[in-house]
Structure 1
Amino acid sequence: MNWEQLLSPKRSRGSSQRHSGSADLRSEFEKDYHRIIGSASFRRLQDKTQVFPLDKSDFIRTRLTHSLEVSSLAKSLGQNIAENILTYKKDPSFTPQMKEDICSILQCAGLIHDIGNPPFGHFGEVAIREWFERNLPLLTYRGRPVDEVLTEQMKQDFYHFEGNAQALRLVTKLHFLVDENGMNLTYALLNTIVKYPVSSLEIDEACGDIKRKKMGYYLADEEMFRRIEKETGTNGCRHPLTFILEAADDIAYKTADIEDAFVKGFISYHVLMEELKKLKNIKNNNKIVFDPAGKLEELYRRGVEKQVDHPEEYAVKNWIVRVQGFLISCATFGFTSNYEAIMQGKYPADLFCGTFAEELMELLGDVAMRRVFSTRQIYLMELVEAGILDFLMDSFVRAVIHYDEDDSALNSIDRRLVYFISSNYKDAYHYHARGKGESEKLYLRLLLVTDFICGMTDSYAKRLYQELKAIL
């Protein structure tokens, strides 16, 4: 892989090239940024869950604030890594303009990396996957079981439903405003958000290569994915910037989950201190590089000396900032020290693997799982969320089974349910279903439901559920 091709500014619809005397001096990647910021899908992230759904606190993160944090961290990492490539001449063809483009791409990628996620956070993905596992074998179409009509890859797409694949679908097809090209973003940006460049038939969690952990694109979007990878030259490999985006996401959510959990009362200063003491001091040549517990204690003492009202809160929030700085340094090292393997498409792990940060990242994830996600309060919320999503899936999947084929097969309730599906999604369905066979059209109708539900905010999903159930 080479940077000139990896940073392709081309788009599906083509670009409005810069002309002499033009007032618009933005690069193609800067134009991407403004397209994203102005989109309805990006705005909806303000009412989508990060961890705590429908939370009344204005401190707790939403998908929007999380995405802004990832965008900022990704850009910072891009600056560090690109500067390292330039300074140490790791690649003779690498230019200062490429550094600028990398930062712009990563800033945009951070904004849209979660744009395809359904309501209610990652549990929403689980609920939709499990709905298909339970119900797809029971559905019938013209007297035949649906899972006999669909091809194996079509079925596996639903059994492995994935927010990352949905993000690619949303930005390339579902913003049906100007035409069928969606947001019409640059190929470099689109490839950066594809964390898993494999189909649902190629998933292999046991192989040890991170790129095959999940599905990266649906069968319906394979043609677009092939165009993207051909244009950028990745050819089945992860785009190098994807590693940086993933590291920024990991830093953002693993530190934010701890901070939000502290504010919500799931984790106290003393609990966090006890957890951090499980880690050994992070040393290099017998010199302490970072002491997580010691730094937290130091910040607490500083808060006491400053006579702040809540020294525990002062310590935890400032500790989060220090940890993020340390993790940025480690991710930078993880990329630059594995530069050749990453550029050859042979690096199988994340950027923290083998660095000083590896154990700390594992601990933060484990603490959040045990102290937050595995608690009665979260489990209760998730059961409520599953009930909402199950009802919506039951209702709308039943309604679209015969949509667009045999109007007489739709009863009055089904016709009214189809009415509620956004015209944008229905327009995209009609465009892409044109000339397709029976199984492909049925597959696209099922995707129409997941497209609609993934586009919902938490509040809208809850409100629509209540209205359809006549809960006043």
Structure 2
Amino acid sequence: MEWNRLLSKRRMRGNYGNTVHRSADLRSEFEKDYHRIIGSASFRRLQDKTQVFPLDKSDFIRTRLTHSLEVSSFGKSLGQNIGENILKYRKDSGFTMQMKEDICHILECAGLIHDIGNPPFGHFGETAIREWFKRNLSQIRFEGRAVSEILTEQMREDLYHFEGNAQALRLVTKLHYLVDENGMNLTYALLNTIIKYPVSSMEIREESGDIKEKKMGYYLAEQKIFEDVSKETGTNGKRHPLTYILEAADDLAYKTADIEDAFVKGYISYPMLESELKKLKKQCPDAAFDGLEKLQSLYTRGKEKGVRNPESYALKNWIVRVQGFLINCATFGFTSNYEAIMSGTYKKDLFYGTFGEQLMDLLGRMAYENVFCSRDIYRMEISESVMLDFLMDQFVGAVLYYDTNHPLGTIDERLVSFISDNYRNAYRLQTEGKNEAEKLYLRLLLVTDFVCGMTDGYAKRLYQEMKAML
């Protein structure tokens, strides 16, 4: 793979309009992407979507919006470090200073939209939608036949493996309908960066050991877009090098933030973190980063400063130090595996083989055991499942015969009217020239489009209204 192709400025809809205005606009194409994103309703809705704690009343706890801003910031920092390393050590004779700047802008944008396709209620929302399709697709009947029999294998697998990453590509390329059917019309370099898994639902190999095959990266509905982007950028089905950096920024952001948020909410304490770091130090006594010593020295400093809560002071400042260390680990992971990444053969994440890997594992395990497996979270997830199951039941039932010769019932007609005009316009454009099975598949995606566009608060309110919980 070559950087001059990887950083493609091409868009689905080419440049248009007055050339005088274009020449007066000094922004790069990737800076224009940034402004398209932050001005979008889809981006704004992230402020009321779950990161870890659904429908939380605290102003401190992170949302998908604040998480995405953090990923954007870490991505840009990693781009600067890695770009400078490529230039300094002449890893690639064709790599220029402008390319370094472009990489930073692309990663900044990718961080903003990497979670833009996620449904309400975080990753649990994805699981709930997948499981709804697995339970119901063979039970729902359309014109006397089970829907699962009408759809092709790939259509079924798309729904069974419903994925926020694939939904993000769909949203920014089709559903953000303003000028035309090209969505936000982002650059191909940016689109390819957010495709974390360049495989279809038929190519998922969770046990292969290759990170790119863990999940689905695009739906059948967006296969042509994926192929065009892949061909234009020269990845040809391989992972874009910037995707590794985006993923590292995401992992770094959420694993450190989850600990901080969990501490504020009372799920994790200073002694618990200290105890885990003592165990890690015994396992890795010669590690480059002494997390235990750093935490304890920050606690001592907090006491010397007379801060009201030295444990809080220590933990929050420790998180900042850890983030700096992990940025260095990810930078090393990319630059030391540069040839394999550029040839598309690297199968791991950027923390693999560094001490950052053990530290990230520790943080992830603490969050999983003390937060995600807590009764409070389980209780919330049960409520979320009830809400999402109800919404899926109602809206899938309503759209089954939408856009067919069968008249809709009174209630179904009203339910379909709730779906955004943008999404229904996108559906009409996508169904032109399609057969009945393809149209049915796209109607089911119309429901997931609508549900994924909901914020946590809207999903709850709509559920309550439809259940007459006034």
TM range (shorter): over 0.9
Structure 2 counterpart of 1:369: 368
TM (norm. structure 1) is 0.98
> Does the 8 A contact of 2:192 with 2:230 survive in 1?
yes
Structure 2 counterpart of 1:188: 189
User: Matches of residues 20-419 of structure 1 in structure 2 within 5 Å?
Assistant: 22-280=23-281, 288-408=287-407, 410-419=408-417
SS state at 1:161 partner: coil
Displacement of 1:23 in angstroms is 2.3
Q: How many residues align?
A: 469
> Does the 8 A contact of 1:429 with 1:444 survive in 2?
yes
> Does the 8 A contact of 1:49 with 1:119 survive in 2?
yes
| Percent of pairs with identical residues | 73
Displacement of 1:225 in angstroms is 0.5
1:20–1:282 CA distance, 2 compared to 1 (3 A): farther
1:70–1:282 CA distance, 2 compared to 1 (3 A): farther
C-alpha offsets along residues 35-58 of structure 1, whole Å, 9 cap, x if unaligned? 000000000000000000111100
TM (norm. structure 2) is 0.98
User: Matches of residues 410-449 of structure 1 in structure 2 within 5 Å?
Assistant: 410-449=408-447
Q: Give me the whole-angstrom Cα distance separating, in 1, the residues matched to 2:94 and 2:179.
A: 37
Displacement of 1:20 in angstroms is 9.5
> Does the 8 A contact of 2:87 with 2:97 survive in 1?
yes
Q: Give me the whole-angstrom Cα distance separating, in 2, the residues matched to 1:238 and 1:95.
A: 22
Unaligned runs of 5+ in 2: none
What amino acid is the match of 2:433? G
Structure 2 counterpart of 1:9: 9
C-alpha offsets along residues 51-75 of structure 1, whole Å, 9 cap, x if unaligned? 0011110000000000000000000
> Does the 8 A contact of 1:399 with 1:414 survive in 2?
yes
> Does the 8 A contact of 2:75 with 2:107 survive in 1?
yes
> Does the 8 A contact of 2:326 with 2:356 survive in 1?
yes
Displacement of 1:280 in angstroms is 2.2
SS state at 1:208 partner: coil
> Does the 8 A contact of 1:198 with 1:217 survive in 2?
yes
Displacement of 1:168 in angstroms is 0.2
Q: Give me the whole-angstrom Cα distance separating, in 1, the residues matched to 2:276 and 2:459.
A: 37
Instruction: Supply the RMSD in Å over aligned alpha carbons.
Output: 1.3
What amino acid is the match of 1:328? I
Q: Give me the whole-angstrom Cα distance separating, in 2, the residues matched to 1:439 and 1:20.
A: 45
What amino acid is the match of 1:14? G
1:133–1:24 CA distance, 2 compared to 1 (3 A): same
What amino acid is the match of 1:315? A
1:138–1:25 CA distance, 2 compared to 1 (3 A): same
Q: Give me the whole-angstrom Cα distance separating, in 2, the residues matched to 1:173 and 1:275.
A: 46
> Does the 8 A contact of 1:11 with 1:186 survive in 2?
yes
What amino acid is the match of 2:437? S
Q: Give me the whole-angstrom Cα distance separating, in 2, the residues matched to 1:234 and 1:196.
A: 12
> Does the 8 A contact of 1:165 with 1:215 survive in 2?
yes
Displacement of 1:15 in angstroms is 2.5
**In the alignment, which of 432, 454, 457 is matched to residue 456 of structure 1?**
454
Q: Give me the whole-angstrom Cα distance separating, in 2, the residues matched to 1:321 and 1:406.
A: 60
> Does the 8 A contact of 1:208 with 1:348 survive in 2?
yes
SS state at 1:137 partner: coil
> Does the 8 A contact of 2:150 with 2:437 survive in 1?
yes
Unaligned runs of 5+ in 1: none
Q: Give me the whole-angstrom Cα distance separating, in 2, the residues matched to 1:21 and 1:12.
A: 18
Q: Give me the whole-angstrom Cα distance separating, in 2, the residues matched to 1:256 and 1:196.
A: 24
Q: Give me the whole-angstrom Cα distance separating, in 2, the residues matched to 1:213 and 1:11.
A: 28
What amino acid is the match of 2:237? G
What amino acid is the match of 2:427? Y
Structure 1 counterpart of 2:465: 467
Displacement of 1:407 in angstroms is 4.0
> Does the 8 A contact of 1:173 with 1:180 survive in 2?
yes
1:281–1:85 CA distance, 2 compared to 1 (3 A): farther
Displacement of 1:128 in angstroms is 0.3
SS state at 1:331 partner: helix
Q: Give me the whole-angstrom Cα distance separating, in 2, the residues matched to 1:275 and 1:287.
A: 16
Displacement of 1:21 in angstroms is 8.7
Displacement of 1:360 in angstroms is 0.8
Q: Give me the whole-angstrom Cα distance separating, in 1, the residues matched to 2:20 and 2:204.
A: 45
> Does the 8 A contact of 2:333 with 2:354 survive in 1?
yes
Displacement of 1:150 in angstroms is 0.1
> Does the 8 A contact of 1:282 with 1:291 survive in 2?
no
SS state at 1:357 partner: helix
> Does the 8 A contact of 2:287 with 2:355 survive in 1?
no
> Does the 8 A contact of 1:76 with 1:103 survive in 2?
yes
> Does the 8 A contact of 2:281 with 2:292 survive in 1?
no
> Does the 8 A contact of 1:281 with 1:292 survive in 2?
no
Q: Give me the whole-angstrom Cα distance separating, in 2, the residues matched to 1:274 and 1:137.
A: 49
> Does the 8 A contact of 1:165 with 1:194 survive in 2?
yes
